[in-house]
Structure 1
């Protein structure tokens, strides 16, 4: 009798432990499970609070975050929802529209073609696309990639206006007769058309569609699986719903847009994890050589001698403690993204969300600060001492 009582007490405990162990194994084997490194527990908890406050204050439905240090992911998870209507949670594999961060892929592709000797960034665009209508001034590939070529920028509503365009070539042709708004290399102005031209140039050189070139040269080489063009009428697993604000700032479903013609500048879906992996490629030579890293890091100098806060494809600047910062911010209808790279600390922070507008940027600096306080505490203390004197 005593033996039976012991067995009745013991068996449920064994069953519970087996279930718990099974859950642990499942979580470890699930690529989609959040990543939290215990060493950075305090920084992660503070950052999660910041992101949740941001979701509430900015009415952002959902987002994903990824933080890596020296090539290792220390924090990655989805926060909020990928779909308000279905109440589907955002996860690490949720694909968001990344807006202008799509230009990272274009700058990488052009840099790879340059490394392979298939083009020269200092040469005229017309050398590679001779049929493009002649402008008053010539412009180079470097000027296109550094946003100093003289082309006007795109308005958000143009995406809806141009929704009947079928491909990149039609977008390039739509604006090919525009005049330059300033002489190249005398001024800086972000223009999505710069990267559309670099995309069509890559197609001319590579004899393939832009998306295939990016896939073959960049994504497949790095084993990046969740980054692709936002094909409008194709079922894409884990694609987030897209949201927008109307004229009185109410959250609404984003209007339907065709992102395919804008692939080199606005048209990609991605995850915070994938963006982080892409950003890590410029921390040290490897995927790119040192000459290319310098191209991404060094500020462009205008013909008059002034430096702008742009390199080839990136924002090149410093943070409030004078730490080197390479960044990329992206926004489009229905999505936004942010990438921050601190090369000296080997810190990379990436964010994606399913709300795109001009109201405010994603809080990437706030997240980075939490980890920099741990990685580079003396820097902050020394700078604060100087400012107090």
Structure 2
């Protein structure tokens, strides 16, 4: 029986789903925050949009069995002056990958998919070289599958692929870049092949199976949301926000072609944490690092690679599972703290240079227990500050004030900071903002809002604060 999608009324489905989930979160989209944690996260999100030049962003936090906060900042549509709202649907980009692997994991739990069997056993139409790879290898980017190349992204967005099998036909004639299981090579094409496996083993269209797995959430194909909900896509790399056309993402639905509201995304994460999509054992298995043929755990940068998820530690050593995404008109992340029933999602309607994982961690911080060992420090109102970055010492034109008990500071970035953030796509006024996480008049811990995102600024002693900007760069502020 041919695989055809039942998405004839997809836009209506998106609208109905938003109604079904509308009573879940502490909403700061257009209303005053009702609790201190929501007020803090909303203040951080607004500071971020004020600093990074992205037209609009949405975020949400899942905590203890519910969506604890949904926040909005900026504009969904610049020309119409339409603000981001609770039901705004953003591109997920590569965050789509963890939804695809969760769909595959559901099939494992149902006894319908063997992720260690050669995919050619299920898809006999594949060329011989591709037939030998496994879903486990595809999910961990160790299958040897290539990524986008040449003019792929310039041509693909104009082509509609009815099914994942059709999309696989675009690239399956290409050679593998390495023998399966021998090297990490990031590949979204590998996830398109996972989509074809899901369709074959589920017996239905990839999007239809994802809809069943996500069960009533605002998660679907990019482009299916009603115009009144869909975030307009923007390019901010070359000056003012420039609207860019929406492209057809059917070539990469499993690898980067889904869309969601922030609230739906963190609810998906929360359901995973609570074993409501796949069982506890399967969820634990998804978090285990994949192994290369020589037994080496697969890793990239500061994380290991599991079944779709990136596994690492946050700044305080707590274990996290996460995935980020970037594509035209989007920058995204979903980050979970396994064992803590906490998830955070951050979505944008423009691609931007960003430290997206630290940003997500800061937005969730007001809902988590504060780390031990925080140093008490007064808000430096009326004080002169100096900064140090990469051995450069400089004076700071900084002003601090108390806003309803919260210490907030604005900094005009001097040359060393302008140089550090020089690759930012946008940076209104070349200013940074500091927002304390507590509203008790102190500056013990704060978010440093920059064009790259939010960074964790902490007092190390009275009158001195530090923020780690990357593995080799720490900003120190001294009164």
TM-score normalised per structure 1: 0.81
1:337 matched to 2:332: yes
For 1:156 and 1:215, the matched residues in 2 are separated by 33
* 2:280 corresponds to 1:290: yes
Q: Name 1:92's counterpart in structure 2.
A: 86
CA radius of gyration, larger in: 1
The residue correspondences of 1:127-142 to structure 2 (distance < 5 A) are 127-135=121-129, 138-142=132-136
Partner of residue 232, structure 2: 241
Q: Is 1:228 aligned to 2:220, yes or no? A: yes
Cα distance in structure 2, aligned partners of 1:39 and 1:302: 48
Equivalence for 1:60 = 54
**CA distance in structure 2 between the aligned counterparts of 1:208 and 1:142, rounded to whole angstroms:** 21
- Between 154-163 and 299-308, the greater mean CA deviation after superposition: 154-163
Alignment partner of 1:101: what SS?
A: helix
Judging by fraction of residues, say which structure has more strand: 2
2:314 aligned with 1:319: yes
Summarize the alignment of residues 132-171 of structure 1 with structure 2, pairs less than 5 Å apart: 132-135=126-129, 138-154=132-148, 158-167=152-161, 168-171=164-167
Cα offsets for 1:270-306 (capped at 9, x unmatched) = 0111110111122133331122112221122222222
Cα drift, residue 165 of structure 1: 2.1
SS in 2 for 1:350: strand
CA distance in 1, matches of 2:333, 2:135: 25
Q: Is 1:259–2:253 an aligned residue pair?
A: no
In structure 2, do the counterparts of structure 1 residues 239 and 258 end up closer, same or farther at CA, with 3 Å as the change threshold?
same
The residue that corresponds to 2:260 in the other structure is 270
Contact kept, 8 Å, 1:62 with 1:80, in 2: the verdict is yes
Q: Secondary structure at the match of 2:235?
A: strand
CA RMSD after TM alignment: 3.0
Q: Which stretches in structure 1 are left out of the alignment for 5+ residues?
A: 1-28
What TM-score do the two structures reach when normalised by structure 2?
A: 0.67
Q: Find the residue that maps to 1:367 and give its secondary structure.
A: helix
Asked if the contact 1:34/1:92 (under 8 Å) is kept, the reply is no
Give unmatched runs, 5+ long, in structure 2.
1-20, 376-458, 461-479
- Residue 281 (structure 1) aligned to one of 271, 274, 290: 271
In the TM superposition, what is the alpha-carbon distance from 1:66 to its structure 2 partner? 0.7
How far apart are the structure 2 equivalents of 1:376 and 1:316? 22
Which range is displaced more, 201-210 or 111-120? 201-210
Quickly say closer, same or farther: Cα 1:291–1:300, change in 2 above 3 A: same
| 1-structure distance, mates of 2:236, 2:190 | 27
Q: Does 1:197 align with 2:189?
A: no
Deviation at 1:108, TM superposition (A): 1.5
Q: Which residue of structure 2 lines up, in the alignment, with residue 19 of structure 1?
A: none
| Alignment partner, residue 428 of structure 2 | none
